[in-house]
Amino acid sequence: MRIQVNVNGESREADVEPRLLLVHFIRDVLGLTGTHWGCDTSNCGACTVHLDGEPVKSCTVLAVRANGHEVITIEGVSQGADLSLLQQGFREEHGLQCGFCTPGMIMTATALLERTPRPSEDEIREAISGNLCRCTGYQYIIRSIEWAAKHGAPTQVEVMP
Amino acid sequence: MQVPARFEYEVAGSVEEAIELLQRHGPESRLLAGGHSLIPMMKLRLAFPEVLIDIHELDGELRYVREDGGVLRVGALARHRDLLESPVVRERYTLLADAEKFIADPLVRNMGTVGGSFAHADPSEDLPAAFVALGADVVVRGSQGERTIAMEDLSVGPFETAIEPDEILTEAWVSRAPEGSSYFKVERRAGDYASAALGVALWMSGEEIEDARIGMCGVGSTTLRAREAEEVLKGQKPDEELYRRAGERAAEECDPPDDARGTPEYKRDLVRVLVVRAMEQAVGRARGAEDRTADGR
Amino acid sequence: MAVETRQGHTFGDRMPRKEDGRFIRGRGHYVDDIQLPGMLHSAILRSPFAHARINGIDVSAALDHPKVRAVITGKDLEEQGLAWMPTIAGDTQAVLATDKVRFQGQEVAFVVADDRYSAQDALELIEVDYEPLPVIVETPRALDPDAPVIRDDKAEQTNNIIFEWEHGDREATERAFEQADVTVKQEMIYPRVHPAPMETCGAVADYDVGTEKMTLWVTSQAPHAHRTLAAIVTGLPEQQIRIISPDIGGGFGNKVPIYPGYVCVAVASLVLGRPVKWMESRAENLMSTSFARDYHMVGEIAANKDGNILGVRVDVLSDHGAFNAHAQPGDIWPMGFFAIFPSCYDAPAAYAEATGVYSNKAPGGIAYRCSFRVTEAIYLMERTMDVLADELGMDPVELRRKNLIPAEKQPYESVMGWTYDGGDYHAALDEALRIADYQALLEEQKEAREQGRIMGIGVSTFTEIVGAGPKKKCHIAGLEMFDSAELRIHPTGKAVLKIGVQSQGQGHETTFAQIVAGELGIPAEDVDVHHGDTDHTPYGLGTYGSRSTPVGGAAAAVVSRKIREKAKKIAAHLLEAAEGDLEWVDGGFQVKGSPGQRKEMGEIAFAAYTNTPPDEEAGLEGVAYYDPPEMTYPFGAYICVVEIDKGTGQVDVKRFIAVDDCGVRINPMIVEGQIHGGLAQGIGTALMEVIEFDEEGNHLNSNFMDYLIPTSMEVPKEWETGETVTPSTHHPLGARGVAESPTVGSPAAVVNAVVDALSPYGVRHVDMPLKPAKIWQILRENRVEPF
């Protein structure tokens, strides 16, 4: 089936099987490997992208479902060399170690801050409860998101020093 | 990662078209809403429908949460998140918001739908139990027209509903808002299915409980309604002794599986405990009191 | 030791990580990200049975699939002598099963296809004729006289015993027990768990027919060792093999072994002349890759009536699964460093004996941040200490205080033959008690009990043993356990450091740059750290057992100092002074007493290529291979506070206090992150993680829905961390390594807390994981009612 998806602001087209998962469309067909996968049962959230502005687990969505819709991946969060405040926050507050869960965390957090610019710690903790991390113990991830919230709107881009 | 077996794919442009497609493709076809119950099963190759009929374009017809003339109407494509965030749900059908906080995780709640949850009929699903406690009804439409099924009659076995192969669930409605309600769940970890969970809805008459409903999940082969426990509560003044008696009865009414979450004995005891906690909170809300934390502590 | 740099960061700074830039942009380069022209995909057919004879395999239908390029079976590999491969423990492991399958999930056939979906479809087209055999799942049953011999492929194997081991002084320990006023004995299980890194294991093999070179991208914590083993196994010349560990999404020991998938993908690429990728699913990861623990232990302590330890005795049954694919630091260490179990206590006598057995479960055992079995040893000691405290009616803190090795006895010679490298355990304990406000906690507990709430406080003090290891004591698959660093300073004063250890998230690109910065005054931002590519890095043994800082970090310091020595010669030449008149100050050499006569490191670097002394070679570079003189011994004191829900049995970790001493901290922020992560894993282990089987050896939870790892909701709101800093007596930087301390020390702290909470009911021990249903059972048995 021919599908057309708006990915990170660009229209992308391809012929795909209906069973192709969105995460594989993004990674294998489009070559955007920043979106990861880490489980078989929709638990880990490493595959989180935005579908029509909402964070979803792309391993549990068919690529054909995204036909005619908008997808934003981690590659679409930074603009060229510049980083979003959230990305900066993760660096400032050591919100990552191996980096595997990080794109998913950033996509979830970006959506959170877009809807709730000043979330409480509890709200942040709950918002990322569908994103598993094995390295950080979560505290510095939460601090990273708090840093970004404190420094302004989530989609503002600032140049990394 | 595992991937699904091959299938054919159709997109329905209207409810009528969805029904036509179901008729045309027969019982090996399934409706695809949010996909967050069906696709995981297909990836593990535990489900292999030959045709998927995608109804995500029917949001215009089927995605809503509103109260019309005192009746709560929830469209089948309302997302879990829609229920969680709906002001009318939070205020007047609070147990639904309570339940939604326990359902999966925020990402899954962005895609999963009310109709999908009902049609999937997993005996461990929270939302059907919460709607059973509200005494909800469900509307299905098919080639033979529209009909209503009582929520408590919807699931007939594990992953089996009373919906015909050519029918689509379109709406759930609740005819009267409870005065107090709550939903409690015991899970091994955030996002897990219930070790045991239940929702309680109360309608008061002065100081007495006029009517009560209890919907339970994870403790039987279908979503359960604890009718006998409800009878214990009806016409009584609320107090802890009463809640315990209701809890005892509800525990006897369930038939929990022996599995990784625990023994049937454990789960029955959870039901005993959760009825008390849920009643305390529901009664407190009916009286306008402030909530304690969700786990009752 | 830290040197001021003109601008940028140096040793000891909370420096934001250099590697973050690519990860936060989604431009990390993990194995599954690799896409090569013509690349094929693969899938592994795995055994549904835990133990069965294979009477035949029919792959014809799979071969007929239009997108399938090859199907490899054990028989095919047998013809090349590749059906079996050596393990790091000196055993053999089937690459693809030939005679039997010996655990559920064992590799049986390897399908190569055009895309990953077709490869998975093709699995369903392969037919295998299995004849089920009796199964050994419960470890003690492996020793039953009538137990089936699992490794009947080995002529000399007549039972399921892998090894028998002992260590310590048996007679002295027996005497201690005879003379003791008090003895306690506690059986306990450290259940089978799994490291479950977020990235599963996988490899891409690319055999270039033109150059006869095999390039393998692998999720490997030890690329060089893997290359040598690959050369031995395949017969390919070692210089024709290039192994690249790109970015790795977490290891925790899971990515130390060589897995059948790696061998198959290499064979497939050789045969087909095209790149082939293999990535396992999460289920495969949990079912077939290196698990952790599965130790069945009995701990005994003998003490006098005042609570002084006289002797410690331990008996262990160690389950290694169907193949002994253990990573052990030497033939004499089949139990890893388990012999550390007397730990931070001044024990005059200790003895351990252990038996290792095969079972019909996945192979492995050493993994999940265990420091080569130190997790098991410390858990056993800390649990048994609490049992002793209970027996004596003594506060567990007081019992520990009495027995902790006094600082004056450092470096401490333990009866198990280790020389600890310094440590003030009392200071660490006191700091933990201070942060926790222990007295206030005891008060709080008293009040809670009066209110009918079930609150517990658990303590764990420990020393680790990491940094394998000295060549006189350690080797892995015969390789000495040194590590290496190669440093080159460019004319413009920037540097590149190549190391033999392998980050899987530990931040080496930052910390190792900080080491060089500290030694040479070059800002860490200007030091590029390379690792993971065997063609471009010096030979190293990789990262596991917290060895990067102790061994690799030492090598980086040593090579930096070598460079500083040559730099001094060049500075002397530039300043026309004698070397002896120069001193190193603030990132440069200057004439003693005449600071105006000075050369900065940058000037010296330039001169190394433009103005070299007459008797010196040009260039400013060096390489060091570091053989650590001893292991290092990071230590800590942890306190955990829990509350148990009487109604449901759920355990809530309300506070976790962790004081760690890992010597000098290269980057405190990175140290803290490591500790946080390990503590979360420890809580997972204590409360919810376990790999479970039914009696037929079927996996009950090989996915993240049922193998439960903590989410953001299961960890306490804050990790209350603290530190003491006692430099290592022998490490060039005074550092020890730290990443495994949190997983070593925390499970006991959590279990001790839960047992403490239940102690009013006479409970002395509960086995992990402390599932709600299990705790509920104990409560109800003791008539604790929810209302």
At residue A141, φ and ψ (nearest 5 deg) are: -65, -45
pLDDT of C511 > 80? The answer is yes
Place of tokens 């009643």: B279
Tokens coding C766: 């509960």
In this structure, the number of other CB atoms found within 10 A of the CB of residue C115 comes to 17
At residue C128, φ and ψ (nearest 5 deg) are: -125, 135
Give SS3 for A57: strand
| Residue C122 belongs to domain with CATH number | 3.90.1170.50
Pick the more confident residue, C12 or B291.
C12
CA–CA dist C107, C47 (Å, integer):
7
Q: Are B69 and B48 in contact (CB under 8 A)?
A: no
Task: Give the residue from C431, C378, C388 showing the smallest Cα distance to C740.
Answer: C378
Q: Note the pLDDT of residue B291.
A: 74
Percent of chain A with pLDDT over 70: 94
Q: Note the pLDDT of residue A160.
A: 43
Residues of chain C in contact with residue B295, where contact means CB-CB under 8 angstroms, are 645
Q: Are C659 and C721 in contact (CB under 8 A)?
A: yes
Q: Note the pLDDT of residue C678.
A: 98
Q: Is residue A54 within 8 angstroms of chain B, CB to CB?
A: yes
Mean pLDDT of chain C: 96
CA–CA dist C509, C515 (Å, integer):
10
Nearest CA in chain B to A57: B107
Nearest CA in chain C to A76: C25
Q: Considering the domain boundaries, does residue C603 fall inside one?
A: yes
Nearest CA in chain B to C700: B260
The helix (H) or strand (E) run that includes residue C545 is: none
Residue C305 is given by DSSP the state T
| Distance (Å) from the alpha carbon of A119 to chain B's nearest alpha carbon | 15
Q: Considering the domain boundaries, does residue C251 fall inside one?
A: yes
CA–CA dist B162, C344 (Å, integer):
65
CB atoms A17 and B1 under 8 Å: no
Kindly report the CA angle at C38 between C34 and C44, in degrees rounded to 5?
A: 70
Q: Note the pLDDT of residue C331.
A: 83
Q: Is residue B268 within 8 angstroms of chain C, CB to CB?
A: no
Task: Give the residue from C713, C733, C717 showing the smallest Cα distance to C725.
Answer: C733
Q: Are B199 and B214 in contact (CB under 8 A)?
A: yes
Model confidence at A155, pLDDT cuts 50, 70, 90, reads: low
Task: Give the residue from C509, C425, C501, C449 showing the smallest Cα distance to C745.
Answer: C425
Residue type, A149: A
Residues of chain B in contact with residue A126, where contact means CB-CB under 8 angstroms, are 106
Question: Are C453 and C574 within one domain?
Answer: no
CB atoms A129 and B106 under 8 Å: yes
Class of domain A83-158: mainly alpha
Mean pLDDT of chain A: 94
Q: Note the pLDDT of residue C2.
A: 46
CA–CA dist A16, C117 (Å, integer):
12
CA separation, residue C395 to residues B56, C301, C391, C442 (Å): 62, 16, 10, 11
Task: Give the residue from C513, C506, C507 showing the smallest Cα distance to C545.
Answer: C506
Interface test with B, best of A5, A15, A28, A60 (most B CBs within 10 A): A60
Nearest CA in chain B to C773: B262
Bridge partners for C423 per DSSP:
none
| Residue C679 belongs to domain with CATH number | 3.30.365.10
Q: Note the pLDDT of residue C326.
A: 85
Which residues are within 8 A (CB) of C673 and not within 5 positions of it... i.e. 6 or more apart? A94, A97, A135, A136, A137, A140, C507
Q: Is residue B25 within 8 angstroms of chain C, CB to CB?
A: no
Q: Are A63 and A22 in contact (CB under 8 A)?
A: yes
Please give the ipTM for the structure prediction: 0.96
Residues of chain C in contact with residue B262, where contact means CB-CB under 8 angstroms, are 771-773, 776
In this structure, the number of other CB atoms found within 10 A of the CB of residue B255 comes to 13
At residue A158, φ and ψ (nearest 5 deg) are: -125, 145
Q: Note the pLDDT of residue B294.
A: 46
Q: Considering the domain boundaries, does residue C190 fall inside one?
A: no
| pLDDT tens digit sequence for C136-184 | 999 999 999 999 999 999 999 999 999 999 999 999 999 999 999 999 9
Question: Are C428 and C507 within one domain?
Answer: no
Q: Considering the domain boundaries, does residue C781 fall inside one?
A: yes
Give SS3 for C360: coil
CA–CA dist C756, A6 (Å, integer):
57
Least CB–CB distance from B8: residue in A18, A57, A130: A18
Question: Are C531 and C658 within one domain?
Answer: no
Tokens coding C149: 């011999």
Task: Give the residue from C510, C502, C439, C508 showing the smallest Cα distance to C226.
Answer: C502
Interface test with A, best of B42, B55, B107 (most A CBs within 10 A): B107
Residue C670 is given by DSSP the state H
Question: Are C599 and C670 within one domain?
Answer: no
| pLDDT tens digit sequence for C241-266 | 999 999 999 999 999 999 999 999 99
Task: Give the mean pLDDT of A120-129.
Answer: 98
Tell me the catalytic residues of C. Answer: 221, 369-370, 740
pLDDT of C62 > 60? The answer is yes
Question: Are C593 and C670 within one domain?
Answer: no
Q: Are B40 and A42 in contact (CB under 8 A)?
A: yes
Distance in Å from the first CA to the final CA of chain C:
61
CA–CA dist C72, C97 (Å, integer):
11
| Distance (Å) from the alpha carbon of A19 to chain B's nearest alpha carbon | 6
CA–CA dist C490, C712 (Å, integer):
45
Report the CATH superfamily, name and number, of domain A2-76: Beta-grasp domain (3.10.20.30)
Q: Note the pLDDT of residue C787.
A: 84
Give the domain extent around C572.
20-27+483-626
Of the candidates C626, C646, C668, which is a domain's last residue? C626
Model confidence at C1, pLDDT cuts 50, 70, 90, reads: very low
Q: Note the pLDDT of residue C6.
A: 56
pLDDT of C366 > 90? The answer is no
Q: Is residue A45 within 8 angstroms of chain B, CB to CB?
A: yes
Q: Note the pLDDT of residue A78.
A: 83
Question: Are C225 and C263 within one domain?
Answer: yes
Question: Are C459 and C492 within one domain?
Answer: no
Tokens coding C84: 């079996």
Domain count, chain C: 3
Domain ranges of chain A: 2-76, 83-158
CA atoms within 13 A on the CB side of B8: 10
Model confidence at A153, pLDDT cuts 50, 70, 90, reads: low
- Cis bond upstream, residue C145 (ω within 30): no
Residue type, C571: A
Model confidence at A157, pLDDT cuts 50, 70, 90, reads: low
Question: Are C682 and C784 within one domain?
Answer: yes
Of the candidates C607, C626, C645, which is a domain's last residue? C626
Place of tokens 């030890």: C222
CA separation, residue B1 to residues A28, B4, C220, C258 (Å): 14, 10, 20, 20
Tokens coding B135: 């005494």
Q: Are B72 and B93 in contact (CB under 8 A)?
A: yes
Q: Is residue B1 within 8 angstroms of chain A, CB to CB?
A: yes
- What DSSP line would sit under C87-149, residue for residue? -TTS-EEESS-SSEE-STT-EEEEEEESSHHHHHHHHTT-EEEEEE-----SGGGGG-TT---
Q: Considering the domain boundaries, does residue C699 fall inside one?
A: yes
Kindly report the CA angle at C456 between C452 and C461, in degrees rounded to 5?
A: 170
Residue A58 is given by DSSP the state G
Residues of chain B in contact with residue A40, where contact means CB-CB under 8 angstroms, are 1-2, 43-44
CB atoms B273 and C282 under 8 Å: no
| pLDDT tens digit sequence for C309-364 | 999 999 999 999 999 998 888 888 999 999 999 999 999 999 999 999 999 999 98
CA–CA dist C547, C632 (Å, integer):
9
Q: What is the pTM of this model?
A: 0.97
pLDDT of C553 > 60? The answer is yes
CB atoms C772 and B188 under 8 Å: yes
| pLDDT tens digit sequence for C656-692 | 999 999 999 999 999 999 999 999 999 999 999 999 9
Q: Is residue C253 within 8 angstroms of chain A, CB to CB?
A: no
CB atoms B107 and A61 under 8 Å: no
Least CB–CB distance from C198: residue in A77, A100, A139: A100
Question: Are C493 and C535 within one domain?
Answer: yes
Q: Considering the domain boundaries, does residue C200 fall inside one?
A: no
CA–CA dist C717, C720 (Å, integer):
9
Q: What is the CA radius of gyration of chain B?
A: 19
Of the candidates C588, C607, C626, which is a domain's last residue? C626
Percent of chain C with pLDDT over 90: 95
CA–CA dist C520, B66 (Å, integer):
69
Residue C363 is given by DSSP the state S
CA separation, residue B245 to residues A142, B239, B251 (Å): 43, 10, 10
Tokens coding C556: 């980086």
| Distance (Å) from the alpha carbon of A68 to chain C's nearest alpha carbon | 24
Neighbours of chain A (3+ CB pairs under 8 A): B, C
Would you give per-residue pLDDT tens digits along chain B (297 residues)? 699 999 999 999 999 999 999 999 999 999 999 999 999 999 999 999 999 999 999 999 999 999 999 999 999 999 999 999 999 999 999 999 999 999 999 999 999 999 999 999 999 999 999 999 999 999 999 999 999 999 999 999 999 999 999 999 999 999 999 999 999 999 999 999 999 999 999 999 999 999 999 999 999 999 999 999 999 999 999 999 999 999 999 999 999 999 999 999 999 999 999 999 999 999 999 998 767 554 443
